[in-house]
Homo-oligomer: A and B are copies of this chain.
């Protein structure tokens, strides 16, 4: 466990002062070429490497970092959001550290707290849980509302997209609407509760509603739930799947069983994954404005930075969704 070599070690070995070492290392002026070469050689020889902590300690100008915690990095939904967040963050001069918790996102906040200035992510727990886990760091909730001091949020308004989808489906001749909801849409007691998108969808469908089932939030879960829906309500000619992953399963099931999509039944997903572009038929989807989500998030984050990350009252933004009409509906 060799002691770390510091700037003083280099200075002593090269027979100069710390400041001269700094000048040599950072390519500053006020130093002769011969000295610079000698110092650089010495640093190289000793394996000197400036401590990023000590450096940032004094350079407290603008090296901000945000931490993104996602439930799973294997879910394309999260990676696409991460991609947009990362690119917008980069543009605005923010570093981004990530952590993935294959489970409750709250649990993996801890590993980030010493690395970043603010936490961003999809969380299911309450604000209180969040505040406890974040150790005082401000938190930005994605797609759910935060109300407590220091918990901010970017919400997602799916209603307009759902309404738009239903009327577009009607315009193409759909008459019997079905919905596959997610089993993981739960209330505080852990019981299944209709998701908001289901409620809006059923409202929009009105008396043309054929029926609804629930399924797991995976491709296989979507396929299975879709099959049950068609079995229970064979007259269904338009289905809203909880998300694109499940919609993918529905399309696969239809294909495997010779059910024409969109001829026999129209399928609409939610999320607007670019994955939906790669399958056949290309997935129609209610897309969230991911870039908007990202820039709203960074608006908040910038605002927090301006307030020196103090506990300012909750800031809220909302992003709208819009219909991405492709081939499956």
- When distances are taken between beta carbons in the complex, the residues of chain B under 8 Å from A189 are none
Q: Which of A44-74 contact B (CB under 8 A)?
A: 44, 47, 49, 51-57, 60, 63, 65, 73-74
The distance from the CB of A241 to the nearest CB of chain B, in whole angstroms, is: 14
- A79: B residues at CB distance < 8 A: 73, 76, 79, 82-83
Q: How far is the CB of A76 from chain B (nearest CB, A)?
A: 7
Indicate with 1 or 0, residue by residue over A289-329, a CB within 8 angstroms of chain B CB atoms.
00000000000000000001111000000000000000000
Taking CB atoms and an 8 Å cut-off, the chain A residues in 71-104 that contact chain B are 73-74, 76, 79-80, 82-83, 86-87, 90, 95-100, 102
In Å, the complex CA distance between A95 and B67 comes to 10
B90:A111 contact, CB within 8 angstroms: yes
Binary contact readout A101-126 vs B (1 if CB under 8 angstroms, 0 otherwise): 01000001001111111000000000
Q: A248 at the A/B interface (Cβ < 8 Å)?
A: yes
Q: A52-B114, A57-B53, A114-B63 are in contact. Are A100 and B74 (CB under 8 A)?
A: no
State the CA gap A248–B2 with chains docked (Å): 52
Interfacial chain B residues near A280, Cβ < 8 Å: 252, 255-256, 279-280
Tell me if A203 is interfacial: C-beta within 8 Å of chain B.
no
B contact residues around A86 at 8 Å (CB): 73, 98-100
Q: In the complex, are the beta carbons of A115 and B65 less than 8 A apart?
A: yes
Residues of B within 8 A of A278 (CB): 219, 248, 252, 275, 279
Q: From B56, B83, B111, B279, give the contact of A53 (CB < 8 A).
A: B56
User: For the complex, is A160 an interface residue (Cβ under 8 Å from B)?
Assistant: no
17 more contacts with CB within 8 A, not counting A74-B274, A79-B79, are A4-B60, A4-B308, A44-B311, A49-B136, A53-B53, A55-B114, A86-B99, A87-B102, A90-B99, A95-B97, A96-B98, A96-B99, A97-B98, A98-B98, A219-B277, A248-B278, A256-B280
**Nearest 7 interchain pairs by C-beta:** A73-B83, A47-B310, A53-B57, A79-B79, A97-B97, A53-B56, A53-B53
